[in-house]
Amino acid sequence: MFAPLGGPHLKLTFIETYLACVAGAIFSATIFYFSAEYFLLRARRKRHQSYAKSKNEGIPMKRKRNFTRMNKLIVRIKKSLGIIGTCFWVPFFLSIPLGSIVTAKFYGKRKKTFLLIVLGIFFNALVTTTISYTIYQ
């Protein structure tokens, strides 16, 4: 979201800034989208291990809340925007790694999900790069 702001100050052209932002975002989205299942399983396994450890030691441990503000917001966005809106905007506003994992969690079984994320990256990078170069001039 904020990466294109550095382009004009580094004396990069519009195209150089745009391509650098797109390349970094697609690389990050690829890694986190296709490894999302690993991260989700790892987090679940660690949570279960910590609960088991605290239970064995006799220390009461609070359960993680399921309905946090962020979870409610993400579900509300998913329901209101659908697959296209989620793939376009969640990685943009939550960050590419977190947004890719969330999108993979909701829509990972659909074949067009990753393509929509990449199209969203191209669109969002174009908009933010245009805005940053417009403001700079």
In the predicted model, is pLDDT for residue 1 greater than 90?
no
Alpha-carbon gap, residue 64 to 44, rounded angstroms: 11
* Mean predicted confidence (pLDDT) in 31-45: 90
pTM check: above 0.85: no
- 55 burial via Cβ count (<10 Å: 0-12, 13-18, 19+): exposed
CA dihedral 69, 70, 74, 77 (to 10 degrees): 60
Residue 4 DSSP code: G
Q: What percent of the chain has pLDDT over 90?
A: 24
For residues 114 and 137, the model is more confident at 114
52-84: pLDDT as tens digits: 888 888 887 777 777 788 778 878 877 888 888
Handedness of CA 124, 127, 130, 135 (dihedral sign): negative
